[in-house]
Structure 1
Amino acid sequence: MNGYWRLIGLSAIIAIVSITYEAYFLFGLLMIWLYLLYRKDRITIRQLTMILMISVFVSGYYFPLETNTPLKTEEEQQLTGTIVSEINKQKTYYSFIFQHKANQQKERLQVTYFIDDPTALPTSWKTGATCQLTGTPELPSKSKNPGEFDYQVYLLHKNITKQMNITDTKALRCSGSNFLHLFYRMRATVMEKVTERISPFTSAWLKALLFGNDHALDSAIVSQFQRWNLSHLLAISGLHVGLIAGFLFFIFVKTGVATKEKSIIIIMGVLIIYPLLSGGAPSVWRACFMTTFGMLMIQQQRKMRILDILSIIFLLCILFNKQWIFQLGFQFSFLVTLSLILSKQWLNRSTKLQVLVRVSFISMFSLLPLQLIHFYFFNPLALIVNILIVPYFTLLVIPLLLIILSLLLLFPVFAVTLDQGFLKVHSFVLTLLDWIDDQMFYPIVTGDFSVFYLLLYYLLFFALCVVIEYGKKKQAVFLILALLSWLFWLEVKPYTNPYGTVTMLDIGQGDTIVIELPYRKGVFMIDVAGEMAHNFETPSDQIYKQVIKPFLYRKGINKIDMVILSHADHDHIGSLPYLLEGFDVKHLVISDYFDLTRLQETASNNTSIATVKKGDIIEYNNQAFQVLHPVTRLQERNDNSLVLFAEIGELTWLFTGDISKEIENELMVTYPQLTADVLKLAHHGSSDSSTSAFLQALHPDLALISVGEKNRYGHPAKDVLDRLKQLDILTLRTDQQGAITYTYKDNGEQGTFSTFLP
């Protein structure tokens, strides 16, 4: 099958994509492609049959996961099972994967033990230990908004279906261990020595780049590398493994410890166990498998096409763990490697400087669609930064950290000297990157796109790699223009969309509503909720980073025409500072009686601030909001909320902020003919508003409630829900249905409501 493994690997990928995205038309294209290869005598009937059989097997293997498991939740249980992962030790908690067996089915739980004393880990908790676990299994948190990170799916792709938190060591009684514990103990011991003997700065980078443990890295650094398409440098991959193998070969041969042949054998042995010492990331297994396989071919003096080797390693990886293919590091690793293999001759024809540029170009653009699928933006200047930073990591950072680690284990005194040098140099580079990030980060936000666009991109990109390989310049120029057109279309696509939306995000106990007009004629927000940190005093950017920003990016939004703030409570304006920093906000609209002290920290030179009161009309691109309240400043801040009336998508809407029943009574007196199709319920469904009289007068068809799940205020109040039910008002609430979206077309027809959760 030499030369045909690539066909098997490609067929397996097509089968996985077809099943995962329900793109079954790809099976038809696969059949046509294989038939053409057979007709042209490129493959035999035997090979055709084998490829089809493997495709069918992979399709069944990747059939959608069954999430209904035998383990019940919300009740305390005693489980017998095994610790099947390394015990992840952090400052305030330990976590590990526990596998138990019930009704002939194996099930995995993510167990977290929260601690006060970091030395409190029982010595019997070891990888491979047989344990009795007592606790209450829970379903992991699920995404409740478009674009939000789905922790439940994330764990499911690691074969983990439940989670359990424990606070008492007596809840887990264990005995025994297996051979993996020895490797994990060795890894932990080395990292402890690294932490003790060198600076926290250098140890954090050493543990991240050589041992796959990035917990000590500043989260701001991780985010910054993500923004500049440098995340691949923080994940151990072929670059790191190749440097480690080269470093060991140089040491063994130059010092005379071993001959070249014996050095290769020793290095292969190291690479077999290195994934266990570095955290077991799929990208590390891929790199180590491939390097070992290549060395074995050299050792046996056998020739095999490198693309076939990659295909074999891919098949072995997905057979070893079917969920690896869903992990970003695995996808990055294979795509970059495949792209570089397809461009091998082009790279061989390059000067050293050209190699740096071309490798950066290939790496960045091979990962571009994945970057857009996961993060929804692309940074054009990232190519230049990659050209500078990737060689710096390749030629200096990783080799220097390898030397520091070697000296640390053999001659600690010399390691300390290098540690200080690394600290100064790397701190300077990171400071420079901070400046670049602050001054030059201008992302292109593309939003979400279908699998069709993904397949189209890779068809064009890999065709480009092939024509460049053969030196076909005209075809290369055409394909480059096609790829640029692909990116340009993603950027302008929202402006061709005839549909508008009104979305109430599930941000917990607060309000955030995003309105997008058809053809992107306007993007408005009513309130921008935030929350406090665990001390209930320090403002937190968690809601902004986890819900608001991902939602806007997923919609391809990086500019907001108008933000209307109902009133100055934190659960309505808490994310405003972060929004103004991260997005271009043209206009900010507040009440005449808004607490202006809450806006001091959000001052922006690029955002105009307008104040309105009862009787004013807020209008932008023919979309009007009529201000019904307030009239005068009131003592109760909630009662100073802006009340807005609007017609959107052939429906009338009333947005009420946090007004009380007294203000509702005033509205009925002032506007006796006021009705609305859709009512945003005041104050999250609190009992001090939404009176029967107001609901009867308004006569809405639908009530929307923005409320936090199991909130401490008891919202929405039972009497409010009873009133809504008695009046036959359909009710949708974010704590139960997640984000709520109204979608309408710019043709005079009434739109439809949908919820993110079923």
Structure 2
Amino acid sequence: MKGYWHIVALSASIAVISVILGKNLFLFVFLWLVFLYLNQRLKIIPFLLSICSFLFFLVYLPAINLVADTSSEITSQNLILGKIIEYPAIQSNKIEFILEEMDSEEKIMVLYFPQNDEIKTEEASHIRYGGFCTVKGELELPQSARNPGEFDYREFLLTKGITKQVVVNDLTQIECEGASFWHRFFSLRIQLIRQAQENISDYSAAWVSALVLGDDSLIDDHVIKLFQDWGLSHILAISGLHIGIVVGIIYLLLIKSNVMTKEKSELIILFFLPVYAVLAGGEPSVLRACSMVLLLLVLRRLKINVSALDIISIVFIVLLLSNPYLIYHIGFQFSFIVTFGIILSRNWLSSVSSRTYQLLIISFISQMIILPIQFNYFSIFQPLSILVNLVIVPYFSLFVIPFMFFLLLFSFLPNSILQSFDAVFVGIHLRVIGVVEWIDEILYYPLYLSDLPVWFFVLYYLTLHTALFFVEKGCLKEALTGFISVSLLIIGYAAIPYFSDDGSVTMLDIGQGDAFIIELPYRKGVFMIDAGAKFSFEDMQPSPSVYQRIIKPYLRANGIHHIDALFLTHEDIDHMGSVEFMLDAGIVGAVYVSDYFDISTSLLNKMEDNNIPIYRLTAGELITIGDQSFTVLGPSKDRRKSNENSLVLHAEIGGKSWLFTGDISKTEELEIINDYRLNADIIKIAHHGSDTSSDPLFLESLQSEVAFIPVGENNAYGHPSSEVIHRLEELGVRVFRTDQHGAVQYNFSNKDGYFQTFLGN
């Protein structure tokens, strides 16, 4: 089997793809293997083993849709007995751990959020890895996504094999005792993090925790987002580079100092690396790197020479056998794909003598080989991130990561010396991060792609492989043509909306609030009517959660960089609370409000700072933005209340007439039908379906076919009113509600269209 393990691993990988896509690719695998066998590039035993590998993993690996079907039934259960199978995440504002139920062996997520005070470590000291627990609470299904592009928490848990969750109200509802052998190492990890916080600055301690111990929770959220947007997140994941540094440190301390022989030092490494894998958080990238080094050392001691390609293939198969749910882990996918790509590029790397140049090549290959997968997960790619990676990756590899190990290992040094080293790092690192922030501010020109089809992946990797092949052969002209082809493929796919006659109107599900997005064909215009937010009843300040979790992901998933016009119906937070966050993001072209909209000084200043014009609209006015016209129907006078002063818009979109009503009351509704001869195929029901709106005469006169009601699930206001729903039913109006249907879209081409609900109800 020597030299053929990568064929077995590739067969297993195709089984992974089959399971994820829900398509059986056996015929493809069989023909591929037959081709290799007939061309004498594969012997009979590897041929048969590869077939078995594909068939075995096709059955062995879990399909998420099947797990979802089995998790649909929830029975009330007040007492749950089980064992903690992953190290619990205990933070000041949350406790989270996975419990394996004793009888069913089902994985359950247990969550606790304190109501008032922060969680103290000693309060949760009984919750330990490997402990047996009794948890009081009712099982429930985790929250699923309700909008396109939104993070799906339920699906995320299913990729870990977790089908249910229980949220406890008090720590007394969690009783645990005992712990596993490995708990002490997880505890040591926590102690090391605390030691770093005590001996060095909080800033340096955060980077030590992330880059040495695999805990990035202490790093500022802004920096995490910055690294995600610029394709630098892999730097924060402990990988082969970190393991190489650990091995190098052990060799330096034991061999170079003549403490031990090379053979004895390798034994120390064999025992220490599994411990470090636990200390570093046990993430798949760590397991992959540690397993490869351990396997290499074991085979070397057995005097068995195996290629790096065979080693990574064997480790891939073993890790999949140990935990089949790893196929859905982003870190697992990225780690193996990047390592596989680097190994395949070994000839190019070996032809370069400069270590720095090699790091640049590795950075380039790493970025390019995960690009389509990065699009599918994060919907964003910065074309300039390749250049940024070429600088930042060597900086972290040669300076930051080794320095973090140094700060942790030598934390016993006198404070004066340690603080001097700390100050040097902080001074340099703040400037480097500042440069990345400057680039983000000045050169932020991202591409947004999502849900890439299979043909894109195939074409991309074939083109990339061809380009890299020509690089290794020294055919630079052909290689350049290949890389240009890769770029054109990405740009061409991103440009599809600008050549498509498809358009849409989307009612986002933001809970108790309004947010409508209108996309015209050929991307001739993107408009938004309202952008609500959640808020705290204590200070009445809008939360960024709706923008961060719903609006921004939707825009990115649909390749939208810019909102040409943002219409704000009135001043309530549930209609305009996300505006300030959208202004900060620089995605709004202009804001339109009524004559009686009372804009705050702070919001007005923010618009002026970002050079965003604000236009006031008058009843009876017809405005045209690009190819889209809107007729302003209200407010006709100042009624001195925000709801009654709502901006009312009428428009023809996708062959249908639309009426957007804000939160007007029955008085304004009757005034509108008295002032205008009006029909509306689709109406946005005013004030979330409250009975203060939707007058029977108003609804009857519109002769609407469809009604949209943006309303929060189980809201405290009792919206929508049963009387309003009854009126609509009597008129034969088809009703779409965000509390029941999630986001609702009207997709159209020319004048033909159809309605689609995100939850499929």
Aligned to 2:449: 446
Does residue 31 in structure 1 map to residue 34 in structure 2?
no
Q: Secondary structure at the match of 1:254?
A: coil
Match of 1:106 in 2: 106
Distance verdict in 2 for CA 1:445–1:113, change over 3 Å: closer
Q: 1:420 to 1:535 in 2, by over 3 A?
A: farther
Distance 1:230 1:699 in 2: 54
What residue number does 1:512 align with?
Answer: 515
Unaligned runs of 5+ residues in structure 1 are none
Partner of 1:704: 708
Partner of 2:681: 677
- Displacement of 1:127 after TM fit? 1.6
Indicate which of 460, 469, 474 corresponds to 2:472. Answer: 469
For residues 132-171 of structure 1, the C-alpha deviation after alignment (integer angstroms, 9 at most, x for no partner) is 2111222211111111111111111112222222232331
Alignment of 1:422-461 (within 5 A): 422-461=425-464
1:292 to 287, 291, 294: 294
* Aligned match for 1:524, one of 514, 527, 531: 527
Kindly indicate whether the alpha-carbon contact (under 8 Å) linking 2:62 and 2:324 is maintained by their aligned counterparts in 1. no
Distance in 2 (CA, whole Å) between partners of 1:397 and 1:612 is: 55
Are positions 1:718 and 2:722 aligned together? yes
- The superposition leaves residues 579-617 of structure 1 with CA deviations (integer Å, 9 ceiling, x where unpaired) of 233244333222122213264143145433322111111
Aligned 1:37-52 pairs, distance under 5 A: 37-52=36-51
Deviations 1:81-132 (A, max 9, x none): 1111212221122221111134x45333233353644144254322212222
The offset of 1:483, in angstroms, is 0.5
Q: 3-state SS of the aligned residue for 2:40? A: coil
Please say which of residues 602-611 and 709-718 is displaced more in the overlay. Answer: 602-611
* 1:38 CA drift (Å): 1.9
- Bigger mean CA deviation after superposition, 149-158 or 473-482: 473-482
Equivalent residue for 1:378, pick from 377, 381, 385: 381
What RMSD in Å do the two structures reach over aligned CA positions?
2.1
Q: How does 1:572-651 map to 2 (within 5 A)?
A: 572-597=575-600, 599-604=603-608, 605-651=610-656
Question: Cα distance, 1:634 vs. partner?
Answer: 1.7
Q: Give the Å deviation of 1:558.
A: 0.4
1:538 to 531, 536, 541: 541
In structure 2, how many angstroms separate the alpha carbons of the residues matched to 1:456 and 1:77? 52
The corresponding residue for 1:67 is 68
User: What is the CA–CA distance in structure 1 between the aligned matches of 2:684 and 2:502, rounded to whole Å?
Assistant: 22
Tell me, in whole angstroms, the C-alpha distance in 2 between the residues paired with 1:4 and 1:472.
Answer: 29
1:696-732 Cα offsets, whole Å, 9 max, x none, are: 2212111111111222222212222222223322111
The answer to whether the 8 A contact 1:576-1:602 is kept is no
Preserved contact between residue 706 and residue 735 of structure 1 (Cα < 8 Å): yes
2:570/2:645 contact within 8 Å kept: yes
The change in CA–CA distance for 1:132 and 1:446 in structure 2 (over 3 A counts) is closer
d(CA) in 2 for partners of 1:521 and 1:441? 22
Structure 2 vs 1, CA of residues 475 and 316 (structure 1 numbering), >3 Å: closer, same or farther?
Answer: farther
Q: Aligned partners of 2:22 and 2:71: how far apart in 1?
A: 27
Q: Which whole-Å CA distance do the structure 1 matches of 2:369 and 2:446 have between them?
A: 18
**CA offset at residue 314 of structure 1?**
1.0
The alpha-carbon distance between structure 1 residues 212 and 533, as it changes in their structure 2 partners (threshold 3 A), is farther
Once the 2 structures are TM-superposed, how far is the Cα of residue 528 of structure 1 from its aligned partner? 1.5
Q: Deviations over 1:58-77 (max 9, x none)?
A: 11123523225579658451
Q: Quote the Cα distance in structure 2 between the aligned partners of 1:369 and 1:68.
A: 29
8 Å CA contact retained: 2:338, 2:370: yes
Amino acid at match of 1:41: Q
Q: Answer with 544-553 or 527-536: which moved more.
A: 527-536
Q: Which residue of 2 aligns with 1:171?
A: 173
Secondary structure of 1:659's match?
coil
Paired amino acid for 2:674 = V
Q: Give the distance between the partners of 1:414 and 1:619, measured in 2 at CA.
A: 67
With structure 2 as the length reference, what TM-score do the two structures score?
A: 0.95
Q: Deviations over 1:644-688 (max 9, x none)?
A: 1111112111110110111011112112x4221111110111121
Q: Which residue, out of 230, 233, 236, partners 1:234?
A: 236
Whether the 8 Å CA contact 2:499–2:522 is kept in 1: the answer is yes
Q: Work out whether residues 709 and 736 of structure 1, in 8 Å CA contact, stay in contact via their aligned partners in 2.
A: yes
Preserved contact between residue 108 and residue 162 of structure 1 (Cα < 8 Å): yes
Q: Give the letter for the 1:61 counterpart.
A: Y
Aligned 8 A contact 1:6 1:307 in 2: yes
Mapped partners of 2:548, 2:71: distance in 1: 35
Matched, 1:421 2:424: yes
Query: How far does the alpha carbon of each residue in 1:413-472 deviate from its partner, in whole angstroms, 9 at most, with x for none?
Result: 643442233222222322232222222222122344223212321232233333323334
Other-structure match for 1:80: 81
The amino acid that maps onto 1:165 is V
Residue 690 of structure 2 corresponds to 686
Mapped to 1, the partners of 2:538 and 2:17 lie a distance apart of 45
Q: Is the 8 A contact 2:131 2:177 kept in 1?
A: yes
Please say if 1:191 is aligned against 2:193. Answer: yes
What code does the residue aligned with 1:441 have?
Y
Structure 1 residues 547 and 174, CA, compared in 2 at 3 Å: closer, same or farther?
same
Greater shift after overlay, 642-651 or 441-450?
441-450
Flag the 1:495–1:471 CA change in 2: closer, same or farther, 3 A. Answer: same
Give the equivalent residue in structure 2 for 1:259.
261
Shift of 1:546: 0.9
1:399 aligns with 2:402: yes
Q: Is this contact kept in 1: 2:112–2:171, CA < 8 A?
A: no
Question: For 1:481-520, what aligned pairs fall within 5 Å after superposition?
Answer: 481-520=484-523
Moved more, 348-357 or 327-336: 348-357
Distance in structure 2 (CA, Å) of the matches to 1:70 and 1:738: 20
Contact 1:212–1:279, Cα closer than 8 Å, also in 2: yes
Partner of residue 657, structure 1: 662
- AA in 2 matched with 1:367: I
Q: Distance in 1 between matches of 2:678 and 2:325?
A: 55
1:540 aligned counterpart, secondary structure: coil
Per the TM alignment, residue 409 of structure 1 is displaced from its structure 2 partner at its CA by: 5.0
* 1:175-206 CA-partner distances (Å, limit 9, x unpaired): 22221212212222222222222221111111
Instruction: Look up the SS of the partner of 2:437 in the other structure.
Output: helix
Structure 1 window deviating more from structure 2 (111-120 vs 383-392): it is 111-120
% identical equivalent positions: 39
**Contact 1:202–1:419 (CA under 8 A) maintained in structure 2:** yes
1:92 corresponds in structure 2 to 93
Mapped partners of 1:668, 1:120: distance in 2: 66
Moved more, 423-432 or 515-524: 423-432
CA distance in 2, matches of 1:282, 1:683: 49
Paired letter, 2:453: S
When structure 1 is superposed on structure 2, of 291-300 and 150-159 the one drifting more is 291-300
Question: Relative to structure 1, is the Cα distance of residues 122 and 626 closer, same or farther in structure 2, using a 3 angstrom cutoff?
Answer: closer
Looking at structure 1, the residues matched to 124 and 533 of structure 2 have their Cα atoms a distance apart, in angstroms, of 39
Q: Residues of 2 paired with 1:353 and 1:124: CA distance?
A: 48
Alignment of 1:140-155 (within 5 A): 140-155=142-157
Distance (Å, rounded) in 2 between the aligned partners of 1:16 and 1:202: 40
- Contact map agreement 1:577 1:601 (CA 8 A) in 2: no
The whole-number CA distance in structure 2 between the counterparts of 1:540 and 1:432 is: 29
Residue aligning to 1:7: 7
Residues 439, 27 of structure 1: CA spacing in aligned structure 2 closer, same or farther, 3 A cutoff?
same
Deviation per CA, 1:224-247: give whole Å up to 9, x if none. 111111101111111211112112
Aligned AA (2:634): H
Residues 265-314 of structure 1: CA deviation (Å, up to 9, x unaligned): 21122112212111111111011111222222333332212111111111
- 1: CA distance, partners of 2:704 / 2:158: 41
Match of 2:745 among 732, 741, 744: 741
Q: SS state of the match for residue 60, structure 1? A: helix
- C-alpha offsets along residues 371-395 of structure 1, whole Å, 9 cap, x if unaligned? 2112222112212221221111111
- Which piece of structure 1 moves more, 142-151 or 347-356? 347-356
Checking the alignment, whether the CA contact within 8 Å between 1:342 and 1:469 is kept in structure 2 is: no
Give the equivalent residue in structure 1 for 2:563: 560
Aligned to 2:745, the other structure's residue is in SS state: strand
Distance 1:80 1:603 in 2: 55
